[in-house]
Structure 1
Amino acid sequence: MSERPVLLPYTDPAFVADPFPLYAKLREDGPVRHVLIGGGLEAWLVTRYEDALAALSDHRLSSDVRDASDTRLLQQLPETERESMLSNMLRSDPPDHTRLRRLVSKAFTARRVAAMRPRIQDVTDRLLDAVVESGHADLIADFALPLPVTVISELLGVPVDDRHDFQRWTDRMITRGPELPDPAVVNEAWQHMRAYVTELIGAKRQDPGDDLLGALVTARDEEQRLTEDELIAMVFLLLVAGYITTVNLIGGGIAMLLAHPDQLDLLRSDPGLLPGAVEEFLRYDGPVNPGIARFAREDAEIAGVTVPRGATVLIASAIADRDPARFAAPERLDITRQDNAHLAFGHGIHYCLGAPLARLEGQIAIGTALRRLPGLALAVAPDELPWRPGGLRGPEALPVTFTPGG
């Protein structure tokens, strides 16, 4: 392993558009690589599948950023609201994580999610109705974004008309690029978000309704299973996590098909391949990139490399999911792939709670778009597509043309 950390060049548009050649080299050079990520932060990148799988369940690796030795990570969170933002499932470990996850897990069971299929289909068709006659669209702004926002808003009981506000605040809080985010901008966005969530909670206290947010308020007020900070953090997490990665799954999946015409033709000819196609999109170029951050509670040996206490460990699912030791021809998009145990949704106790919902939305959205938009093609050259710079990967816009009228 090299002594000097390797820079992940998020200032390089070519890397942002296609980071996988560098990822492959990092994986070939060693199972754990010392790297520099956005803003000069150091991390230990776990690059190979078996090591990444083990690291996702390693009790020596914490989800709590307070275990990180680099104080800049904590300073990225708004100072006055730090405790609130740290009180969610993604940033907690057992026993708090177990208690918090149990409160919402019933809303995301496969059976509950399957019952949402008609409504997801209805929203999908309505969004496509609005563009189908024009023969052109931005499938992010017009389709991939409003679909999951509408679904999670209805599940929680949040007014869909408010989506533009919380989407804007979310972008300011979680968007990552070459430099560290401005703490003042993050703090202002969180204050707006907290005020909004507090108002929602107040409205639910007056009229709980039959939705997930009403159930969480009851758990806080009547059952004492949540603190107020935990309640606010839970609502924030569900709002944000409930849509942002699914936007990238839908938009990224369509972009992958347009870049691989043979796979597009195959899926059009056999829609029964859709479930497997979505799994392949998640493996080949998933919405979390390069992976999932953990923090070493102690000096820990991973794949023969000693990672120091307090270090940021970046479990690189995007790199591991193209590991040739685990997947045959991993650099090839193959929607018929059978053995596809990818790590895009994580693994272990932090496995993505919303995975069944994301899968269903992806299948319905992509399948319906292919059916209703004949002649679908990019309106720009593939290398002109703008991609998110880091952390959450997907096209920022997806301009397309198609035969008007569907």
Structure 2
Amino acid sequence: MSHTPIGYNPFDHALHEDPYPVYERLREEAPLYLSTIPELPFWALSRHADVWAAFRDTGLYSSAYGVSLELWSPQARERSSFISMDPPEHTNFRALVSRGFSPRRVMDLEPRIRELTRARLAVVLEAGEFDFVGDLAQRVPVDVISELVGVPEADREEVLRLSNLMIARDESFTMPAAGREATGVLMRYYEELIAERRARPGDDMVSALLAAEIDGRRLSVTDVRAVLMLLGVAGNESTAKLLGNAWYQAARNPDQRAVAFAPGGGGVGPWIEETLRYDSSGQMVARRVTRDVELYGQVVPEGSRMLLLGAAANHDPRVFPDPERFLLGRDTSRLLSFGTGAHFCLGASLARLEARVVLEELVAAVREDYEVGEAERVHSANMRGFGSLRTVVKAR
């Protein structure tokens, strides 16, 4: 056991390069951790059993102040919709939005996702060297979610740019000015899109939300805008980061890349699931403690911010043997990358489908011995992945 104090700061850019050694120390030495950052007090849970239980106890661990430390507010729902609500209100909103993400509807999207992927791949494969994230991994998810929501093709580049600005963080424990400005611009954009669909409804999610009712009440512009803000950012960023992490980790582990590229395509599913466990794009979420609770001999006061470190839990050796090894085919049934319980990620099936299609198309189109080069990480407290990742491929 180290005698050096644990310094866990989720905004530390140095931590973003490799947070897993710190997570290990948290699990073993401070499974209930109290922040030493005066500007941003919080507690954190890192062991799998604790994080799993907290995700499922919405009465004790509330989402009503949002899921981000730096955007902590009782008005969080105006920005992030139903993920910043508790049952039963959360249940009603989720049921409404989930109609657009039913298993059948998601599977019906596969041909279109494959078409979009092949179109993007045709361009980058001709060059042979490209930015895996900027030219491919970001493009397919933003195309898919934009088609679901009803964002015109001409606007998607700008929506993506604004989304990227919104998740980037400096080390000041707040959203940078560029992110705040981007949030305002994107809010106004969605308000204009809502007004347009209200005047001329179409076959898209905005029109469906405007026509929907919860307990006999139509959704307000603020309600619909919040859903769009959530889908427009989370709907593309998490999948893009998952793809980049999968591509990078396979390159770093050639023995496992051979499994991923095995003939028949059967290695792609395990590739995705192990990436979700080993290097999850979603690192943690925040909750508000609704009453005093004693954990590990300490009392966490009512109203405290509690971080649930899903990415640390995914490396807990009590659940995942040899957790620091990237190993395709291991049992990942207890991974927490999408949460669990009432707030299990609504877009999980779509993210998995998009990742599967993109990686299947890559396995079919390029040789196994691709190379990754210069990489630029996104600096975010809760999102882990790359803003750019140079790669060189050879067509089969």
Task: Compute the TM-score of the two structures, normalised by the length of structure 2.
Answer: 0.91
Q: Which amino acid aligns with 1:240?
A: V
Counterparts of 2:8 and 2:54, CA distance in 1 = 22
| Selected match of 2:275 from 281, 302, 307 | 281
Partner of 1:210: 203
Partner of 1:311: 304
Deviations 1:290-336 (A, max 9, x none): x1110112212235432122211110000001101111111111111
Deviates more, 1:269-278 or 1:243-252: 269-278
Structure 2 residue 319 is matched with structure 1 residue 320: no
Residues 4/312 of structure 1: CA separation in 2 closer, same or farther (3 Å cut): farther
Residues 103/221 of structure 1: CA separation in 2 closer, same or farther (3 Å cut): closer
Matches within 5 A, 1:4-153: 6-8=7-9, 10-13=11-14, 15-36=15-36, 40-58=39-57, 59-65=59-65, 73-74=71-72, 85-86=78-79, 88-153=81-146
Counterparts of 2:300 and 2:241, CA distance in 1 = 31
| Selected match of 2:147 from 129, 136, 154 | 154
Residues 281/402 of structure 1: CA separation in 2 closer, same or farther (3 Å cut): same
Counterparts of 2:237 and 2:46, CA distance in 1 = 24
| Selected match of 1:401 from 380, 392, 395 | 392
Deviates more, 1:40-49 or 1:59-68: 59-68
Deviations 1:173-231 (A, max 9, x none): 33223223357544432321121101111111122112222100112699634222111
Secondary structure at the counterpart of residue 261 of structure 2: helix
Q: Which amino acid aligns with 1:374?
A: R
Q: Which amino acid aligns with 1:350?
A: H
Deviates more, 1:223-232 or 1:131-140: 223-232
Counterparts of 2:189 and 2:369, CA distance in 1 = 39
- Give the C-alpha shift of residue 378 in structure 1: 2.9
Residues 122/222 of structure 1: CA separation in 2 closer, same or farther (3 Å cut): farther
Residues 387/40 of structure 1: CA separation in 2 closer, same or farther (3 Å cut): farther
In structure 1, list runs of 5 or more residues that go unmatched.
Answer: none
Counterparts of 2:152 and 2:66, CA distance in 1 = 34
Structure 2 residue 297 is matched with structure 1 residue 336: no
Matches within 5 A, 1:245-394: 245-270=238-263, 271-289=265-283, 291-380=284-373, 385-389=375-379, 390-394=381-385
Task: Work out the percentage of aligned pairs sharing the same amino acid.
Answer: 34
Deviates more, 1:138-147 or 1:205-214: 205-214
- Give the C-alpha shift of residue 391 in structure 1: 1.3
Displaced runs of 4 or more, over 6 A: 1-5
Counterparts of 2:55 and 2:215, CA distance in 1 = 35
Matches within 5 A, 1:219-258: 219=212, 224-258=217-251
Secondary structure at the counterpart of residue 294 of structure 2: strand
- Give the C-alpha shift of residue 27 in structure 1: 1.0
Secondary structure at the counterpart of residue 267 of structure 2: helix
Counterparts of 1:3 and 1:22, CA distance in 2 = 12
Secondary structure at the counterpart of residue 234 of structure 1: helix
- Asked if 2 retains the 8 angstrom alpha-carbon contact of 1:370 and 1:376, the reply is no
In structure 2, list runs of 5 or more residues that go unmatched.
Answer: none
- Asked if 2 retains the 8 angstrom alpha-carbon contact of 1:31 and 1:47, the reply is yes
Deviates more, 1:266-275 or 1:144-153: 266-275
- Give the C-alpha shift of residue 73 in structure 1: 4.4
Q: Which amino acid aligns with 1:307?
A: V
- Give the C-alpha shift of residue 393 in structure 1: 0.3
Residues 67/357 of structure 1: CA separation in 2 closer, same or farther (3 Å cut): closer
Deviations 1:147-179 (A, max 9, x none): 000000111121132122222323333322322
- Asked if 1 retains the 8 angstrom alpha-carbon contact of 2:6 and 2:25, the reply is no
Residues 11/57 of structure 1: CA separation in 2 closer, same or farther (3 Å cut): closer
- Asked if 2 retains the 8 angstrom alpha-carbon contact of 1:220 and 1:228, the reply is no
Deviates more, 1:173-182 or 1:137-146: 173-182
Task: Compute the TM-score of the two structures, normalised by the length of structure 1.
Answer: 0.89
Give RMSD over aligned pairs.
2.7
- Give the C-alpha shift of residue 49 in structure 1: 0.4
Deviates more, 1:392-401 or 1:185-194: 185-194
Secondary structure at the counterpart of residue 387 of structure 2: coil
Figure out how many residues of one structure are paired with residues of the other and give that number: 392
Counterparts of 1:74 and 1:265, CA distance in 2 = 43
Counterparts of 2:377 and 2:12, CA distance in 1 = 12
